[in-house]
Amino acid sequence: MKLTFLGTSAGRPTKARNVTSIALSLPEPQHGFWLFDVGEGTQHRLLGSKLKLNKLERIFITHLHGDHIYGLPGLLTSRSYFEGAVPLTIYGPPGIRTFIDCVFHQSGVHLGYELEIIEVEAGHVFSDSYFTVEAAELVHRMQCFGYRIIEHSQPGKLNLPLLKSLGVPSGPLYGKLKQGEDVTLASGETIRSSDVVGPPVNGRIVTILGDTSPCDNVLVLAKDADLLVHEGTFSGGMEEKAYAYGHSTVLQAAKAASEAKVKQLVMTHFSSRFDDEAIEQLVLDAKEIFEHSAAAYDYGEFCIHR
């Protein structure tokens, strides 16, 4: 699993940073990716990455401020030009359907693929064989969600040398054993799954927050996450201004990461007042509270290891 940041600026783009969008590349055997927010210019940023629009499977929108959704109509329209585009599902706050329907109606768009729009509420959002996604409301100037992506635990590895020594033929029996089933060989001998399969591999947790002031749901969503994406719009000492606009400082982000016991904090959504040198100092300030803090940058990649 890997996060690629396609936009890391707050409110408006700068020469170095586009507005918000984050891509989550899924692990094998899956080969697609999901997007979290689609700020204006996101499809241009995608052109500079290895990500292809026909592999985009799901889009999660945190809230309806323009720097998080103005790139959505163009991206959805361009996706029709890609052969083999799989069906696409968009998840977002109430109002996301009206926004898309209005733009498409007025501009006469006809998509060449199946599009589903789901307006989310707090709680369970989505699940399949590999992941569960949960949402909770944050504190911002409009309804805004954060998302918690939970990878399901996977069966442990087969002990191949032991299987060979026990005379278990490769093929369907291997699959049954890996899924926890005991099998009986032609000789009548029973092979127990627990004897030949290692312990389950724990799934990873990624938390991606929308814009927010500090609140309890930040900690709920981020608890024990392998990676937390938290906005750092303002510097320490600007807490009053941050609160007035429904945002957080980098110090508040670091405090949340520490309290939630996450493994890694990646801060994004930086005010355009900060250049790269200033952001380096913001990270140093955050590290005083939470050592494993980093700043996102456009095209920055962060791997989520087991």
211 is in an annotated binding site: yes
Joined tokens for residue 255: 């405090």
140 is in an annotated binding site: yes
65 is in an annotated binding site: yes
Examine the residue annotation and report whether 224 is marked as an active-site residue of this protein: no
User: What DSSP state is assigned to residue 9?
Assistant: B
Q: Indicate the angle between helix axes 276-287 and 250-260, nearest 10 degrees.
A: 40
Per the residue annotation, which of 37, 67, 226, 298 is the catalytic one? 67
* Angstrom distance (rounded) from CA 175 to CA 254: 44
CA 102 to mean position of chain CA atoms: 27
User: What DSSP state is assigned to residue 273?
Assistant: T
230 is in an annotated binding site: no
Query: In the chain, where do the E strands start and end?
Result: 2-7, 21-25, 33-36, 56-60, 88-92, 115-119, 123-127, 131-137, 145-151, 183-184, 190-191, 205-208, 227-231, 265-268, 293-295, 301-303
> Which residues does the annotation place in the binding site for Zn(2+)?
63, 65, 67-68, 140, 211, 269
> Which residues does the annotation place in the binding site?
63, 65, 67-68, 140, 211, 269
Active-site residue set: 67
